[in-house]
Structure 1
């Protein structure tokens, strides 16, 4: 068991929860656990792919069939990191199939709010998990494991607390309500080495602004899975939108190639 480590001038005790609430229920160690906060040479492969892609496609659907077809359309358009929201009917079944059919793609489950759903997502083959907030029980269990947990945070205090507790990347949510890319740029000043993933309300055409402001990646929902296209099951349109946003992210990344660590 780790007893803590010092990173920069920050001394961490990796198993000390930030709050005494529920601390007795937090699992102490994941079976595949590795050292807290990997160095750049041992960065989680999922995080590396997220950074290279610049885009995490976030899929919500009303049924299994639509979810499957919309996911395949987005992948055909160039998406290489795909998150399916846990409330999508059959989300875990879709993840299982996609993981087998697209081994080079990173698949995750989003809006995970409890350890039970997190463990189910892991069994289904998810390589990353995301939450709109920081769920400490999930963070402690998956910290340093092969499954990347990306907790959500809004304020500088929340961001720093999640990072010092072991998060390898932080989802900034709801970013558009907080000032959009300007907020990311502001956060970069005190937190130059923490990977920040911008989420909520991001549109095509603004991806480059977020990446240039310092975001490691952006989460896109309607910008790819357009509501009208989803309702009409217009998967050609979804593929077209996916191609446009992944191209935009690629062009932005070429001008900002240094990984945020």
Structure 2
């Protein structure tokens, strides 16, 4: 599966922070039940890689990937954990070489026109705009779209259920990333049915 195919599976990719391993599988199941299959588990906690492995093994309908890949060792660990795709906030020459050698579907982070040009020269036409709001949000995406008609973005950072449709209305936005689908309080309290409800609402988001 290519990165474009993964981005096409739904309008929102939840950005997930798993603090306790026992929450990983029920959280993934709750999101999938709500129609959200593509899950980005960030490498921000000690149990993240184990969470990715557990989801991959126990939630077959989930397409689980790794976020916050910033170093080659992060990429290698993600591959070992069975990640189906990777996401980075930016890119370095060493990380780029490792990504291309791995063949892993990847969404490299970009923030400036120069970033976009460098990623496109390396063969990427799908990118993460991060941090989206701080980078200029909708206005920035419109400006980038006027110059880079062949590039599509998954803006992430500061987007919520109310602003997501405005981003999805842009022709160069494939989907959006957001953390509102898995609030930490709901996860800690095991409120899986409420997370499923959030996922159902997110899966039905459309451009406005």
Q: Distance in 1 between matches of 2:80 and 2:185?
A: 33
Task: Tell me how large the CA RMSD over aligned residues is.
Answer: 2.0
- Equivalent position SS for 1:100: helix
Unaligned runs of 5+ in 1: 1-43, 256-261
1:138 matches 2:92:
no
1:102 matches 2:59:
yes
Contact 1:57/1:82 (<8 A) preserved: yes
Q: Distance in 2 between matches of 1:102 and 1:46?
A: 20
Residue 182 of structure 1 deviates from its aligned partner by 2.4
1:138-157 equivalent positions in 2, closer than 5 A? 138-143=95-100, 145-157=102-114
Query: What does residue 192 of structure 2 align with?
Result: 235
Query: What does residue 215 of structure 1 align with?
Result: 173
- Equivalent position SS for 2:169: helix
Contact 2:16/2:40 (<8 A) preserved: yes
Q: Which has the larger radius of gyration?
A: 1
Contact 2:9/2:38 (<8 A) preserved: no
1:34-49 equivalent positions in 2, closer than 5 A? 44-49=1-6
**CA-to-aligned-CA distance 1:13-46 (integer Å, 9 cap, x gap):** xxxxxxxxxxxxxxxxxxxxxxxxxxxxxxx534
Contact 1:46/1:106 (<8 A) preserved: no
Q: Distance in 2 between matches of 1:84 and 1:150?
A: 14
Query: What does residue 118 of structure 1 align with?
Result: 75
Residue 82 of structure 1 deviates from its aligned partner by 0.4
- More relative contact order, 1 or 2 (CA 8 Å, 6+ apart): 2
- Equivalent position SS for 1:181: helix
Unaligned runs of 5+ in 2: none
- Equivalent position SS for 1:189: helix
Query: What does residue 61 of structure 1 align with?
Result: 18
Contact 2:14/2:177 (<8 A) preserved: yes
TM-score, normalization by structure 2: 0.90
Aligned residues: 207
Residue 151 of structure 1 deviates from its aligned partner by 1.5
Equivalent of residue 122 in structure 2, options 165, 172, 179? 165
